[in-house]
């Protein structure tokens, strides 16, 4: 019987090596896999390239991973926010590289990687500095920019419920990039608020089919980034 359940977040992230490219699900605080990120901080892998829409908030989760000097490069669409302090600090000191990608292009590059499509054309960025140096081509009289797929070694994902095969459902807007990242990473590690038995998720309701998932660890009552920040918490 296939069983992707892993007993702890510590074991789930144990093999992530220095220099790995890691996708982290979530949009701002919603959908951020805080327990998996904190396990990666404890594990200590360095020189990581991290792909997320943002750069974390406060001194917990993704921001804490950056603050712990484990990230050498961020690929994201929006590195600023009112509560993001650690990324700006590291960026201004030249300690972290930034690759800025428009949000829809980021999503589609991740999807393309999962779908086996090495490149695609998009109208996004035409006529802007972000299109400079990229191949452009006309289709039906309109100019488009070529963008490449974006792959990762690992994805860290939070979901509402999972079964032992890795079928997943999410909660509201906490879904965001996660189903795409599950497809695009060689090894997808998921923290699930509930672990249900096989058949516990209606096949009609599965959002991420288990084929895209490698490891599932149950984290019931996961902490939420917004709650940690409101409480003034730091990690570690």
Partner 1 sequence: MTTGWTREQIAARTAQDIPNGSYVNLGIGIPELVAKFVPEGREFIYHTENGLLGMGLPPSEDERDLDLMNAGKKYVTAVPGAAYFHHADSFSMIRGGHLDVCVLGTMQVAANGDIANWSTGVPGAIPAVGGAMDLVQGVKQIFVVTQHTTKTGEPKLVERCSYPLTGAGVVSRVYTNLAVIDITPDGFQLVDLAPGVSFDEVKNKTGTSVLPPADNG
Q: Does 205 bind partner 1 (CB under 8 A)?
A: no
Residue from 44, 104, 199, 236 binding partner 1 (CB under 8 A): 104
Cα separation of 218 and 161, whole Å? 9
Largest CA distance in the chain: 55
Identity of the residue, 6 or 101, whose beta carbon is nearer to partner 1 in the bound complex: 101
Identity of the residue, 14 or 115, whose beta carbon is nearer to partner 1 in the bound complex: 115
Q: Does 196 bind partner 1 (CB under 8 A)?
A: no
Cα separation of 118 and 132, whole Å? 20
Identity of the residue, 11 or 173, whose beta carbon is nearer to partner 1 in the bound complex: 173
Q: Does 80 bind partner 1 (CB under 8 A)?
A: yes
Q: Does 185 bind partner 1 (CB under 8 A)?
A: no
Q: Does 113 bind partner 1 (CB under 8 A)?
A: no
Q: How far apart are the first and last CA of the chain?
A: 37
Q: Does 79 bind partner 1 (CB under 8 A)?
A: yes
The per-residue DSSP string of 82-132 comes to TT--HHHHHHHTT-SEEEE--HHHHHHHHHHHHHT--EEEESTTTTSGGGT
Identity of the residue, 16 or 149, whose beta carbon is nearer to partner 1 in the bound complex: 149
Residue from 47, 117, 171, 231 binding partner 1 (CB under 8 A): 171
Q: Does 30 bind partner 1 (CB under 8 A)?
A: yes
The size of the interface with partner 1 (CB under 8 A), counted in residues, is 50
The per-residue DSSP string of 158-219 comes to EEEEE-TT--EE--GGG-TTHHHHHHHEEEEEEEEEEE--TT-S-GGG-SB-GGG--EEEE-
Binding site for partner 1 (CB under 8 A): 27-31, 77-81, 87-88, 91-92, 98, 100-108, 110-111, 122-130, 170-180, 207, 224, 226-227
């Amino acid at each position: 019987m296939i069983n992707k359940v892993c007993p702890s977040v510590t074991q789930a992230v144990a093999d992530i090596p220095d220099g790995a490219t890691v996708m982290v699900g979530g949009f701002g605080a919603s959908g951020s896999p805080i327990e998996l990120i904190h396990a990666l901080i404890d594990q200590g892998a360095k020189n990581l390239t991290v792909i997320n829409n943002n750069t974390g908030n406060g001194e917990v989760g993704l921001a804490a991973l950056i603050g712990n000097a484990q990230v050498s490069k961020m690929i994201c669409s929006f590195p600023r926010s009112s509560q993001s302090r650690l990324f700006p600090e590291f960026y201004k000191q030249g300690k972290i590289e930034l690759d800025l990608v428009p949000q829809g292009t980021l999503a589609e590059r991740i999807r393309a990687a999962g779908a086996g499509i090495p490149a695609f054309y998009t109208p996004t960025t035409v006529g802007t500095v972000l299109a400079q140096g990229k191949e452009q081509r006309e289709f039906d009289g309109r100019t488009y920019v070529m963008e490449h797929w974006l792959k990762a070694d690992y994805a860290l994902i939070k979901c509402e419920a999972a079964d032992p095969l890795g079928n997943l459902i999410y909660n509201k807007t906490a879904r965001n990039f996660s189903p795409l990242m599950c497809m695009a990473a060689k090894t997808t590690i998921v923290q699930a608020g509930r672990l249900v038995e096989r058949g516990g998720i209606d096949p009609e309701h599965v959002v991420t089919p288990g084929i895209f998932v490698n490891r599932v660890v149950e984290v019931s009552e996961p902490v939420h980034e917004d709650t940690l920040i409101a409480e003034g918490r730091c990690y570690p």
